[in-house]
Structure 1
Amino acid sequence: MDFGEVVGQRRMVRSYLDVPLPPGSLERIVAAALSAPSAGFAQGQSLVVITDASQRSR
């Protein structure tokens, strides 16, 4: 898949399935998010990983 295809297929997701992630997936997702570029190498992001459904609130 080239960059144009990736950009053309991106979408916003606001509805999620109540299905656990396969083992190791969460770690790979967090690692990818932390290695993403930031403007001016500011790295101004923070992540909160919640794995217990009772801890989520809106």
Structure 2
Amino acid sequence: MAMLPIFYDFIERTLAASNTVQGELVSSAGLPGGHWPGINDRIINPSRPWVVATD
């Protein structure tokens, strides 16, 4: 029983970190056109592959 609060804290922190990562992956502000590229984008236009914009 003594380990239960430690385990609960670990799970809570892991879920919070997972939610942060998921939020960053869903955000598409820095991507061309403001969205994630499709599977065939590079195949359709190989002269202009997508890249993530940086500041």
Instruction: Provide TM-score, normalisation by structure 1.
Output: 0.30
Question: When you count helix as a share of all residues, which structure comes out higher?
Answer: 2
**Rg larger in structure:** 2
